[in-house]
Structure formats: C-alpha cells, structure tokens
A and B are shown apart, each in its own frame.
Chain A
Amino acid sequence: MTGALGKDLLGLESLTGEQIRLILDTAEPFKEISERAIKKVPALRGSTIVNLFFENSTRTRISFEFAEKRLSADTVNVSTAGSSVSKGETLVDTARNLEAMRIDMVVIRHSASGAAQFLAERIESNVINAGDGTHEHPTQGLLDILTLRDRFGDLKGRRICICGDILHSRVARSNIWGLTKLGAEVAVCGPRSLLPNAIDEFGVRIFDRVEEAIEWAEALNVLRLQFERMTAGYIPSAREYNRVFGITRERLDRAPRDVLILHPGPMNRGVEIDSDVADGPHSVILDQVTNGVAVRMAVLYLLAGGKPELAEAAKGGTGRSREERE
C-alpha cells in the first residue's frame, strides 16, 4: 500500500516541504499516546515490522521499537551479531529472505550510504531508513525539526546552525534538506576538515568560527564528534576541539539572544558540548528524544497507508492520559 509519502522513507532530500509538514502534523496527535497510562493504539495491528540493524544503535532502535509497539505492530529485531549477516550473507539475500517471510515493513540501519535505497528497490515492503552511512537519517532530522517547531512555530526565516562534523554526519544532511524545505535559514559550523569540500553548493551559510555562529543563530544543533575522526587525522584532539568549537556556557553568555540547544545524542560531554549547556534551561535535548517516538509513529502510520486526517481517530478514544490518571 502506498500512501502520501510513497513506499519508503529514505531521506528528506527527496521529500517535498508539504510531505515533511504532513509527517510533523501527523506526529502531533501521536505525541499524546505516549503520555497515556495505556500507551497503545491499534493502528498497525497485524503488521509485521523488522528492525534490521547492521550497526550499533541504542536510542534509535528503542525509539522505533516503542513507536511500533505503541501502534500495535508485531516487531522482530535483527542485529548483525548472531544473524546470518555475520556468516557472510549479502544484503540482497537478507532482503529476499525477509521478503519471503511476508513482512510489511523494514526499518534499516546500515553503515553503507545507499543501503536503505538498495533494500527499497529490491523488496515490496515499506523501507524506513534509520541511518545509512554518512547519507541520511531522516527520522532524526524530522524529530529535530519537530522539536524546533514546538518552540518556534513556523520555521520560515528561523536561523538554525548545525555544528560539528558535517562531512560524516547523516543527521546534518537530513537536517539541512528538511529545514531548507521548510524555509528556515540554515548554517553549518565546524572545522573545514570536517565539512564537505562542496559545502558551498549546499545553499547554506558557513561559519568558520563558532562565536560567529552563536551570534547569528537562534538554535544550534550540536553534532556528536566521533572519536575515530581524531585517529583518522581530521582534527588534532578532542581537547582542542572543545576549546575551538565546543558549545560552552561562556560562549553562549555572549550571544545577543537565548539560543536553543539540540543534540542528536549520544553526547560527549565536555567535547562538543559542555554539561551546563546540555543540562541548561535552553536545552531541548530530551524533548528531541520524546518527539522521536511520535515522529516515528507518524512515519510508520503514513507509510502503512494511514490517512493523515484520521491520525486523531486512529489513536482511539479509550486511553486515559496521565493528567486524567493523576
């Protein structure tokens, strides 16, 4: 079944602004389900979903699993350890075997860019990209955008800077495409050795100095610094990174306005972000995590062919909210 998003969600680059808004709008009513005592609605009852994780992930996998379970889908988790993948099975064979078991959806996380598309082109089930290499991580982009929209309302003209390792970040790409399509002004800031050489052609503003980015931005999305970037020689040390590019209280105090702080996690406290910023009053890092479940519910629901206007009804009216209970 093909809904308003098409068969798959592979990235935000290929979506229209309208489709992104649709997902965000659909996520709104689903937020409330997670606040209920009985966190379950029957929208995807009878659907089978495989969470195919070829790369380690804790929060994304858990978030997807909660989203699936709260929509009453039957789920199976496959991770590389202990599966036939570790015995040398190719991705295409894994895909065909899954398909032969008559599943409805696959959520795939893979270290190779394009792996989700590869799978999507070879199976009839809906495919959701939960992060492919350094390409895209669309549901992370969507939850970041939902969190920003919660604070800012319309994102048109809002100034958002993505800080850190843009070169290797799928989160950065999904954010850039998604935010741009919603009319936000997007900037990136990081050492040039961690920006794509072609960044000029992305249509984003570039800041070489984090102080300038903070002066400009209304929100910062601070990316995790992967430690293997140091061993690969992209930057000299975590210590220097913190001193030159770290988001610190001291730097934020000099900003002309309050700056909203996002981080896709997991954080390296004291490297890309200082603890008093991460835990500070303008941090929405935990809101992102909460929104992650709602956004993923929305994506699952829409890909399964759910009608956006029925999302409210799909919740069912039976669950009591936490407020009612208390």
Chain B
Amino acid sequence: MKPVLLKGGKLVDPSQGLNKVGDLLLLDGAVEAVGGSIAGPEGAEVVDCRGLIVSPGFIDVHCHLREPGREDVETIATGARAAAAGGFTAVCAMPNTDPVTDNQAAVGFIVRQAQRAQAARVYPIGAISVGQQGKVLAEFGEMVGAGAVAVSDDGKPVASAQLMRTALEYARTFRIPVIDHCEEPTLAAGGAMHEGIVSARLGLKGIPAAAEEIMVIRDILLARLSGGHVHLAHMSTRGSVELIRWGKERGINVTAEVCPHHLSLTEERVRGYDTDAKMNPPLRTAADVEALIEAVKDGTIDVIATDHAPHHYDEKEREFADAPNGIVGLETALAVVVTNLVEKGGLSFPELVDRMACAPARIFNLPGGSLVKGSIADVTVFDPATKWKVDSSTFLSKGRNTPYNGMSLVGRSACTIVDGTVVYRAGLPGERER
C-alpha cells in the first residue's frame, strides 16, 4: 500500500483539539504522523490540500442501502460509492432490507458486499426483532459476531415498551446501542406530513409532533430503567430536543441524531405536493428547525446522520399520500450542513467534524473519528467554501429523490480516503472544474 501524504490542508480534529494547517501522513492503513510539515517517504502519493479542511472520516450512522431486495434502487456498492463522494468514509446500513437483516448470515452478506465495493466502509445494523415484526428479539449476539454495530427496527417504531425494554437490557452484553425510530404508531397512522397549518391547507393527514415525543420520552425512561444505551434516530421536533436534554441532565444513556433536511427545510416545502419533500419523520416548522440547530450546537443532539433513503422515481412520481417516505442524502449532507449551520447557524468546523465524524465513532464504538497517530487511515478532505449547484443526475447513488436539486450550496467533499486508500477525489486544487 502506497503511503499517502496530505499536504497543506487545515487539520480539523476535535478528538485532539487540533485546528490548524499542517500535513498528515498515512502509512499501512494508519495515521503515521500528523501536524507540521512532513517530508513524504519515497513513492508517497501526495494530495495537495491547500485551502481545504482535512478531518477524520465522516461516519453516517443512518442510511438505507436497499440491498438485498431492492437492488434496482440502490446497492451496497452504489451506496458506498455515493457515501465516499459525499465525504463519508463509513456508513451504517439499516436492516429494513428484503429479507430483513435480522440474523448473522444476512449481516455477513452485507459485510462481504461492502468489502467488494472498495469504497466507504459499510457497517451493518441488525434488526431488533425477527422480521422487524416487533415480537421476538433477533439474535443480537450472533449478529454482532458477524459484524453488526447496532440494532434497530428503523422504518418501524418498536411499539411494545416491553420489547424495547428487553432489547435495551439484552444489548448491554454486546455494548451496542439500540436505535429507535420514535413514532407512536396510532397517532401517526396514515400521516403524510407534519400536522399543522400546511397539512390542514393541503388536506393531507398530519403526523403530530407528539407522535415522536411520546416515544422519545418513553425510550429515555426505558433507558433509565434498563441501563441500556438508546440512540434516537432522526429527531425532528423542538419537544424531542427538550426531552433529550432532560434525559442527559439526569445521566441517562441517551444519544440522538438529526438529519440535514430537518436542519434546513420546513413543512412549507411540501406545498405543491412535491414528493421529494416527503419523508418520515416529516419536515416540521421553522421553530423546530431552530431548536434542532441549537441542539446540534450545544451537543444535546450528538450526531448528524443522513437517513439516506433512495427510491425509484416511478414510486415517487405519484399522489403525495401514496408516495414512499425518504430522500437521498449522502451526497448533499455536508453541503447542507455547511450552508445552513456553519454559514448561517454559527456552527464551527470543529463542531461540524465532531458531529459528523468523532461523535458517531464514539457513540457507536466504531474505529475512526480521530487522526491521532495510530488511528485508522480514514480521512475526509473537503472544501469549506466552494459553492456548487446540486444536480441529482450526477449522483453516484441510484436515487435521484432530493429536495435540494437545483439549489446552490456551500461546501463539498474533495477527497475521501478509506484505510489509507483514496476512494474518491474531485475538486482538489488544480483539479477543480472551472
């Protein structure tokens, strides 16, 4: 493996309080030297990083890669390449595949497909319950043995409090988080968007904020009861933020994530019945967006995750209520966060790197999240200031379903390195499109 020397970038690594220009040397899949001026060894691949930020590789703890089952929509290979293009060196794949990833063989399949892809790492998340049916616990131990890093019935809430309690207790043995999609099913039934003035005007059935918040507080209380680690997926409401803050103040083992779209778009985006603005949880109000941004800044919400959910365009081009939930996010996440949180919201780049790289590694107990000597050689290089126009037809993901198409955003990945190998490069100095 050729050594890689990243020259002249701004090293941003909050895991070691690093935030200044310097070089980074990667050797044999690990960080060999960091900071200052480093003379490259013979034959090293030199990456010119002047004007760019060099950080620990971003990790997306929440995406849907659709394989097995819907390879027409996304595969582990296309998803892993899209991830690398978006600056992610690793992603966690949700188990709502077909068949459901609820056993060690299914987990092993994802691990093997990911190895073949040679792009971003893909860590499988196993199901909480067999078939995501919400009845019988899946075999956490065997799934972890095969490579699963967490469990979740994502897409479906765990309706039974008893099952959730048991999952949190049982997961302790394996030191994995239990991820919940917080949605009280009877309140949310049939809902197509946020319940509010826009849903009332459009005549669409709404999903009230309370549907999420009821499950957030239930899960926090169950985490307290069980001593397990609950990770709350895609938080979308101001109330959820307050409840998480309440839980953390009491030392309860709760962590949470938020998606770029919930930090940048509101229910207003649904006007016109654009199905690319349909996702679950739905886009909420401006007050919710504001509270979520504050929560990212103060650390109440630990992680920014994409909930990347590709769909075939046929499935999205239909009546709003009947269209599937979800948007792709891997290739726009960084730019949406830079544009809306750094440029407008006052988030610093070290905070951004923490929420997208360090915190995910910390919470999910994954390798990476740091550039200290000896860390795995997963590195994200991005341009913090370049402005570009989103063109979904150029995505490496098979999905084109994004509400950001045509928008001008700031910030873009330039080079992605996984295990010491450059898996994506574009937009380096001297290589930029004019």
Query: Interface on B for A, CB 8 Å cutoff?
Result: 195-197, 199-206, 208, 272-273, 314, 317-322
**Beta-carbon contact of B273 and A118 below 8 Å:** yes
**Beta-carbon contact of A197 and B273 below 8 Å:** no
Residues A118 and B319 in contact in the complex (CB < 8 Å), given A132-B203, A135-B203: yes
A1 at the binding interface (Cβ < 8 Å): no
A58 at the binding interface (Cβ < 8 Å): no
* Apart from A113-B320, A114-B273, A118-B320, 9 more pairs, CB < 8 Å: A91-B318, A92-B317, A92-B318, A113-B203, A133-B321, A134-B203, A134-B204, A170-B203, A197-B206
By a CB distance below 8 angstroms, the chain B residues around A113 are 202-204, 273, 320-321
**Beta-carbon contact of B272 and A90 below 8 Å:** no
**Beta-carbon contact of B202 and A135 below 8 Å:** yes
By a CB distance below 8 angstroms, the chain A residues around B199 are 196, 198
Cα distance A50–B205 in the bound complex, in angstroms: 29
**Beta-carbon contact of A201 and B273 below 8 Å:** no
A117 at the binding interface (Cβ < 8 Å): yes
Partner of B203, one of A90, A133, A197: A133
By a CB distance below 8 angstroms, the chain A residues around B318 are 90-92, 118
Taking the closest CB of chain A, its distance from the CB of B73, in whole angstroms, is 17
Cα distance A136–B322 in the bound complex, in angstroms: 18
Partner of B208, one of A132, A134, A197, A199: A197
By a CB distance below 8 angstroms, the chain B residues around A110 are 319
Residues A173 and B272 in contact in the complex (CB < 8 Å), given A91-B318, A91-B319: no
Query: Interface on A for B, CB 8 Å cutoff?
Result: 13, 90-92, 110, 112-115, 117-118, 132-136, 170, 173, 196-199, 201-202
By a CB distance below 8 angstroms, the chain B residues around A117 are 272-273
Can you list the 10 inter-chain pairs with the closest CB atoms, starting with the nearest?
A135-B203, A114-B273, A112-B319, A196-B200, A134-B203, A113-B203, A198-B197, A201-B197, A198-B200, A114-B320
Partner of A199, one of B200, B203, B204, B317: B200
**Beta-carbon contact of A197 and B202 below 8 Å:** no
**Beta-carbon contact of B203 and A198 below 8 Å:** no
Cα distance A201–B204 in the bound complex, in angstroms: 16
By a CB distance below 8 angstroms, the chain A residues around B197 are 198, 201-202
Taking the closest CB of chain B, its distance from the CB of A199, in whole angstroms, is 7
Taking the closest CB of chain A, its distance from the CB of B187, in whole angstroms, is 12
Partner of B202, one of A90, A92, A114: A114
Cα distance A118–B321 in the bound complex, in angstroms: 12
User: A92 — nearest CB in chain B belongs to which residue?
Assistant: B317
